[in-house]
Structure formats: structure tokens, C-alpha cells
A = this chain, B = another copy of it.
Amino acid sequence: MTPKSRLHIPQPSARPGDAPDFSYLSLSDAGAVARPDSDTPASQIENLASDLVRVLDDDGIAQGEWVPDLTTDQLLEALRMMLLTRQFDARMQRAQRQGKISFYMQSLGEEAISIAQGMALEPGDMMFPSYRNQGLFIIRGTSLVDLMCQCLSNTRDMCKGRQMPIMYHNKQANLFSVSGNLATQYPHAVGWAMASAIKGEEHIASAWVGDGSTAEADFHYALTFAAVYQAPVILNVVNNQWAISTFQGFAGGERRSFAARGLGLGIPGVRVDGNDLLAVYAVTQWAAQRARQGGGPTLIEHVTYRGGAHSTSDDPSRYRPKNEWDAFPLGDPVMRLKQHLVNTGYWSDEQHAALEEELKTFVNEAWKEAVTYGTMTEGPRLDVRVMFDDVYAEVPPHLERQRQQLLALREQSE
């Protein structure tokens, strides 16, 4: 073999020890991108897939046509929900470190996406989250205790002990079951939206995947089916720059944005500042309106940054600069909304600190309650009998037999 090679290997802009470098990110100024009517044909708004819709400028002032109709109360509630998500994450991260739960994944730095979209969509709209959308569960009112009990696989676990932490669902709140398999929820969302259209209902569907997951087949299937049937669905790509150790270039992000992935099928793409709650809200509302009007799918790329490790099993210091997040030009979504509210006079550092304290206490109270339902190491434990339920709608004879076998064995050993 000759050493000569033209195989292109994507290179991140910085590795451990290097200075962070986000010059590869193309940014628009806040307010710079025009807001077309939501029924504009896809072919006339291809720029939205390359530009970056931003509302909050560097001083936290809302700018331009995309400024959404949100009251101060709504904005304060959004801030509260983002902070709550962050406090929840921090508490659960700690629980994992303490050996109380087996695994955890934070959404640090990406909170604006779930909270804004949760606010922009209607309760009847169905959501198909990824594992980094805990904010959707929170904004849709899932109790923290329920979320914690899922992570604890305890007696109150909604999943009855069957899933690793963070694989939540909330049927009542129209939140689909999170899968451990990447991107599989994408065609589900499209199918759900197709059914909504078949039934003539107004509800739309929305799904989330990460940048890395766009390489999976289900991403392609979903886009194809959404385009063919003009399904009322919002397909979100949360581009947090990293999969596990590979940056978004390994998902094909080096040359075009992820928002552009559907253009070849006639699916409009919108690239939005994912750390700008106002922008995400506005873009989501736009896409939802488009879908409800019969305008079909929209692909939204949220440009953000994974502030923490991929999961509690990961150590990002092995593959990216430690301080990369600090250098991220779109900042921290919590700080940006806070700055906006402080600027507009409705919020202060003191109030913010007080809110943080209040939420910390709230989360700690929830945790205290959750562990009363059991942890991995102590307290009540789920009845092992449920292991054999729900494989089928009714427990078939062979599973009943296996259940009895196990119970007999357990009795014997007691």
C-alpha cells in the first residue's frame, strides 16, 4: 500500500489543549433574517436553512421580525422552567455519582430548545423526544418525582423498572416513550402526523434527534415519508456540535447545515439559534402554523452546544478542549434569557439567585420524596412479577409459567 491517500477525515476545530475555535459556525446578526409568511413555498425560503434566525442580540435585546408574542410572565415562566431543568439535571447527575442511579444524561446548555418548543406547541400535539429533551417533560408538567422515580427504577417507576434512566414517557401529556436507539422516533412522529392528517385532526407531531443521529436510516425514512405525504410534523435536529467523541462533521455537517438536509425533498429548513429561547419559540410557532395549515413538514436545526459530558459514562476532556463551552458564541441559554429580562427591567440578579435557591430546594424535596419509593440500593423494590407483564397485551401462558418458575426459585432460596 502506498501512503498516498485522498480519504478526507473531518477534523474538529480544536482538540484538548487547543484554544477553542468556533470560526466554522456561520452566524447571522440578531434580527437580520426576515420572517416569511408561514405559507411561503419551500423553494422561496431556502436561505432560512443557511442563515441563523436570532432574536436576542449580544445585549439581550430582542430584534427583528421573529420577535415572538410572549408576555413577560411567559418569559419569566420560561426562565423558571429552564432553571428547573438545569437544577434537575444537576441533582440527578449527583445522584448517579452517589451510586443512587445507574446512569444519567444532562441537557446542560440545551434547555432553551425543549422549554421554548414545549411552550410553542399545543397540548394536543404529540412529541417524540430524544434522551436529551427532559425539558419537554418538565414544561409539560410531568412531576419531578415521576421523572426521578423512572431514573431510580423504583416502585413508582412509570417504566416498571424496564428502562435505563432518562427513558421517560408521559402518555397523558402526549410525550412518547424515549428510546435508547437513536433516531427511531423520527418515523414514528411522521406516522403519527400522517394518522392525524388521515383523521383530519389539527394536531401535529414533533420529533427531536441529535446532529450525530441524522446519519441513521430513520432520519432519511422520516424525511422521505414526511415529504411524500406532506405530513404535519416538525422535525428537529439539535446540533450540539458533538455526538459522543465525534464532532458534527462526522454526520456530514462540514459543508452544509443540518437544516438543509430536507431541501432536496422540498422540505423547508430553518436554522435557529438554539440558545435563544425567543428565536426557538418563534421558529417553532412558524413551523407549527405551517403544518396546521397543510403546509407539511419543516426541519429545524437548533444550533447549540452540549455543555456537559455526553453521559455519566463519558469523559469529554479526552477529545475536546475543557473550556470549549465558554467560547461558544451563542452563550448559555439561561444567561441569555436572564440578561434579556434584566435588561427589560423585569428581573434582577437577586431575584435570579433567589429563584435558583427556591428551585434547588424544590428539586431536593422531590428527590427526598422519590427515594422513599426506593433506590437501587435501599428502600422498597419493585415486585419482580412485573417483569413478565406488558410483553404482550395479555400475559401468555408461557410467560405466566416462567413467572411461576422464577417465583418458586425465589421462595426456595429464602
Assess the A227–B252 pair: CB atoms within 8 A.
Answer: yes
Binds B, one of A145-153, A255-263, A312-320, A350-358: A255-263
Tell me, rounded to whole Å, the shortest Cβ–Cβ distance linking A49 to chain B.
8
Assess the B199–A2 pair: CB atoms within 8 A.
Answer: yes
Most B C-beta atoms less than 10 A away, residue of A2, A3, A200, A214 = A200
Tell me, rounded to whole Å, the shortest Cβ–Cβ distance linking A251 to chain B.
7
In the complex with contacts A8-B230, A217-B217, A2-B200 CB distance below 8 A: yes
Assess the B266–A264 pair: CB atoms within 8 A.
Answer: no
Chain A, 229-267, CB within 8 A of any chain B CB: 229-232, 249-252, 254-258, 260-266
Q: Is A408 an interface residue when CB atoms closer than 8 A count as contact? A: no
In the complex with contacts A3-B200, A8-B296, A264-B260, A42-B228 CB distance below 8 A: no
Size of A's binding interface in residues, CB under 8 A: 50
Main secondary structure, interface of A, reads helix
Assess the B251–A224 pair: CB atoms within 8 A.
Answer: yes
- Distance of A222 Cα from B257 Cα, bound (Å): 18
Against B, the Cβ 8 Å flags (1 = close, 0 = not) of A144-180 are: 0000000000000000000000000000000000000
Residues of B within 8 A of A252 (CB): 224, 227-228, 265-266
- Distance of A42 Cα from B269 Cα, bound (Å): 19
Residues of B within 8 A of A294 (CB): 6
Residues of B within 8 A of A269 (CB): 264
Tell me, rounded to whole Å, the shortest Cβ–Cβ distance linking A94 to chain B.
37
In the complex with contacts A215-B224, A263-B264, A264-B261, A200-B249 CB distance below 8 A: no
28 intermolecular pairs with C-beta atoms under 8 Å apart? A2-B199, A5-B198, A7-B194, A7-B197, A7-B198, A7-B230, A7-B231, A8-B228, A8-B296, A9-B229, A10-B228, A42-B255, A214-B224, A215-B224, A219-B220, A227-B255, A228-B251, A228-B252, A252-B265, A254-B266, A255-B265, A256-B265, A258-B264, A260-B263, A261-B264, A263-B263, A264-B264, A264-B269
